[in-house]
Amino acid sequence: MRIIAQENSIAKRRQDYRKSSLFTRFVVFSFFGMNMFFSVQAQTGKSLDFVSTLTNYVELPNLLPSGSYTKEAWIYARSLTDYGNNIISGVSSAFWVPDGYLTAGHFANDNYDYWAVNDPERLLLNTWYHMAVTFDNATNQITLFKNGVQVGTGVTAGPYSESKLFIGTYNYGEHYHVGWDGMIDEVRIWNVVRTPAQIAASYNCRVTGDEPGLLAYYNFNQGTAGGTNTSVTTLLDRSDRCVLNHGTLRNFNLSGTTSNWVSAGKVINICGGTYANINILGNGKCIADGDNTPRTQDYTNFGSGSLITRTFNIKNTGNATLSIYGVSISGTDASQFSVVSAPASTLAAGATTPFSVRFSPTSGGVKKATINVSNNDGDEGEYDFAIQATSTVTTAGQRYYSTAPIEESEITPQTQITVYPVPAGDRIFIRLNDAKLLGTVATLWDQQGKLVKRFTISKLLQEVSLDGIPRGFYLLKMNDGSVNKLIKQ
């Protein structure tokens, strides 16, 4: 990775904090019938140690394919090469420390050249630093921060297009000799440009996970420090999001004092601030904001039928009051869906409120729409997701029957009883337009005059199973003498 253009400015400040928390377990030994108790303290991992010659790195989802961003991390360098030392990099965007100088930039050409901005002050080895970089997609401005203070800024040649993202390496060959050698802690990735004031206020404390624009937050508090952690290969995303962006550890030994979860780290206080955070669940499963793939598992795919109601739950996972301004439905088939039960207008921290959406189609086929929940979440103020349902209503061949003693009439759906679909499959639906008709007894007769089925209409919209009834022509008779023709396919 070569720098072909760079800009810099100077500012400096360093701080070093080391502290770790402990948990205790008790071990019992027995000698000559006497029990002896020893308290054994095991430290939880506080950071992750990388060894560049082992090609240690963490593979992340592609969180930043394009657009503005902020990347943050606490770093501790054991050694520094003249060209690698990547902190958070991908294919076309890099945040690294070549030859000990904090640098960030974007891909310039096929020779791995970068338009870059750097800090003119070389880092010290074996020292903790907080590093941050922001990129404004509107202006192409890159700004560097060290320990909460701006240390470099400049304009790159243009925006970037990213396909991968890593902690501790850059996508070059087999990642060999471009990785980090030392420890990394408290990584935060945002899809917004954090202001200098925001970075200065939060660099030395843990975020809550509800902050607007926070895509992923890795605090590295995992595993047993210096212990055997061969099963702890996932770096957990601690952000308060519906879909979490966990990372995957690659090539770590996961035992001993290096290439493992370790005790040294930046143990810091939790930052102040209160934020509302909205999550929406269907069937107990979280539905991501912007989800455009309806699934039956989370009720976004309603299934098949002519009248289906699904209930969703809004949960405030933040620490401030969530205001809900309304639920609306948009899209091609929005008229086929309706909100039949609205949520509460405000939700306290941790509270949940339901709302229900009904599918009542007027024609057959797959119907698609989008649910929109307007609220005061800082970065999900218009929470929307796709829904769909399959209508079993048959437009062609649908017949409407009256309770008058006539065989069939082509009359409007405002008639007192509607029977559909005709022809029918394994079921029919009978819709009553007058509640006084509840309790009507209906009988189904075949062409030989044999009684096939008897039932009472007890609902305004009643589903009647024809399962097991052979195909053919039938008469559906009501107890007032009216007769309806029915064909079973």
> pTM of the full predicted structure?
0.72
Residue holding tokens 């790159």? 156
Encode pLDDT of 47-72 as tens digits.
Answer: 999 999 999 999 999 999 999 999 99
Encode pLDDT of 21-53 as tens digits.
Answer: 322 233 333 333 444 444 445 567 789 999 999
Residue 230 has what pLDDT? 97
Contact 305, 389 (CB under 8 A): yes
> Hey, what are 180's tokens?
């980090």
Residue 238 has what pLDDT? 96
Contact 217, 237 (CB under 8 A): yes
How many residues does the structure list for the chain? Answer: 489
> Hey, what are 92's tokens?
């076309």
> Hey, what are 326's tokens?
């309304």
> Hey, what are 411's tokens?
């009359």
Summarize the chain as % helix, strand, coil (round to 5).
5, 45, 50
Closest CA to 241 of 420, 133, 379, 445: 379
**Which CATH architecture best describes the domain 278-391?**
Sandwich (2.60)
Residue 287 has what pLDDT? 98
> Hey, what are 215's tokens?
């895509």
Closest CA to 226 of 180, 258, 194: 258
Q: Environment class of residue 34 by beta-carbon count within 10 Å: exposed (0-12), middle (13-18) or buried (19+)?
A: exposed
399-488 carries CATH number 2.60.40.3080: yes
Residue 207 has what pLDDT? 92
CA angle 165, 171, 177 (to 5 degrees): 125
Residue 42 has what pLDDT? 59
Residue 1 has what pLDDT? 59
Contact 126, 264 (CB under 8 A): no
Beta bridge partners of 354: 313
Closest CA to 287 of 377, 390, 389, 387: 387
DSSP code for 287: E
* CA–CA gap between residue 404 and residue 460 (Å, rounded): 18
Q: Where are the domains of the chain?
A: 2-19+43-270, 278-391, 399-488
Residue 20 has what pLDDT? 28
Contact 294, 387 (CB under 8 A): yes
Contact 428, 419 (CB under 8 A): yes
Q: Environment class of residue 468 by beta-carbon count within 10 Å: exposed (0-12), middle (13-18) or buried (19+)?
A: exposed
Residue 311 has what pLDDT? 98
Whether 278-391 and 399-488 share one fold: the answer is yes
DSSP code for 345: S
CA angle 60, 268, 22 (to 5 degrees): 90
* Cβ neighbours, 10 Å, residue 309: 14
Task: List the chain residues with pLDDT less than 50.
Answer: 8-40, 396-414
> Hey, what are 347's tokens?
């939700």
Q: Which CATH class is domain 2-19+43-270?
A: mainly beta
